Amino acid sequence: MSTAFDFTAYLEAARWRVEAALESSLGPERPESLREAMRYSLLAGGKRLRPILTLAACELAGGDADLAMPTAVAMEMIHTMSLIHDDLPAMDNDDLRRGRPTNHKVYGEAKAILAGDALLTRAFEMVALRSPGVPPERLLQVVGELSLASGAPGLVGGQVVDLECEARQVDLDTLEYIHLHKTGALLRACVISGALIAGASEELLAALRTYARGIGLAFQIIDDILDVTASSDVLGKTAGKDLAADKTTYPKLLGLEESRRRADALVGEAKAVLEPWSAKAAPLLALADYITSRDR
């Protein structure tokens, strides 16, 4: 007899566990002012999608999610640092993030840059020094995934191309490049690292790479659609900022309807590759659907 998977309850429980782990990830270190700036953004809410993907992938691969928690926290730290830096005057120059003043608005630019730097390096510390019970060779693989996702082959590379293309319209291939790097790379690292910690087979890792690519692109298409359809109140962003006339988005290139169709197709493909593991894949399948049905 199969029991229906209660995704709402799963998400709530996972978020609760992640929040507790994030809360205890920053010790009583000095200087206090740096710790405060790090905490301000790390504990500012957010969907916590990335750490939850790590925990879910670990469980799908037969692992103990508790062992993957430090890595899950590391993923949210890298995500948070990328948001802090993305909001800086030299980049997107945003005043609001998740409905609150951005880090540099509260602590000043220098402190915001350093809080981001400290979160990035703390992420590697979480994996290398604070992951008891995980074989070191698996942690080394996770460090590799984090390095690729953060640096030039990942977020930084995507951000650079995005900045270079800011004031002009780009084609679909370039838009896809930007999103696969800015957004997709970290989502992929989340999923793959969770599975690596559990010692996943090559076959499962390959399927999870396909899954991550699909949800990564779909995630960004939905983000673009929400920028058009949702109010800035719901998104917690600076009003009108993301609707800048010179920014290329999926709805601009494809129209709203085709963008939505494409996101649905990508999620469909992402779910299909997990078919052989469907008995344990309920959370990852539901997370893929959540990406296309979310309203923020």
Residue 190 CB contacts under 8 Å (≥ 6 apart), including other chains: 50, 51, 53, 54, 57, 72, 75, 212
CA distance 87 to 5: 37
CB of 26 to ligand GRG, least distance (A): 17
Put residue 240 in one of left, alpha, beta given phi > 0 → left and psi -120 to 50 → alpha.
left
Question: Which CB, 25 or 82, lies closer to ligand GRG?
Answer: 82
CA distance 94 to 268: 34
Q: Residue 50, Cα to own-chain centre: how many angstroms?
A: 4
Question: Which CB, 209 or 294, lies closer to ligand GRG?
Answer: 294
CB of 236 to ligand GRG, least distance (A): 8
Question: Which CB, 117 or 264, lies closer to ligand GRG?
Answer: 117
CA distance 270 to 289: 10
CB of 18 to ligand GRG, least distance (A): 11
Which structure tokens are listed for 29?
């270190």
Check residue 182 and report its DSSP letter. I
Question: Which CB, 47 or 62, lies closer to ligand GRG?
Answer: 47
CB of 36 to ligand GRG, least distance (A): 20
CB of 155 to ligand GRG, least distance (A): 4
CB of 132 to ligand GRG, least distance (A): 26
Q: How far is CA 110 from CA 34, 37, 104, in A?
A: 11, 11, 8
Report which residue type is found at 49. L
Query: Interface with ligand GRG by CB under 6 A: which residues?
Result: 46-47, 49, 78, 81-83, 85-86, 91, 98, 120, 150, 155-156, 159, 182-183, 223
CA distance 148 to 155: 9
Minimal CB distance residue for ligand GRG: 46
CB of 220 to ligand GRG, least distance (A): 6
CA terminus-to-terminus distance, the chain: 35
Which SS3 state, helix, strand or coil, does residue 100 take?
strand
Query: Any alpha helices (H) in 102-201, and if so which ranges?
Result: 103-107, 109-129, 136-150, 155-164, 172-179, 185-197
CB of 87 to ligand GRG, least distance (A): 8
Question: Which CB, 200 or 215, lies closer to ligand GRG?
Answer: 215
Question: Which CB, 59 or 223, lies closer to ligand GRG?
Answer: 223
Question: Which CB, 54 or 159, lies closer to ligand GRG?
Answer: 159
Question: Which CB, 85 or 204, lies closer to ligand GRG?
Answer: 85
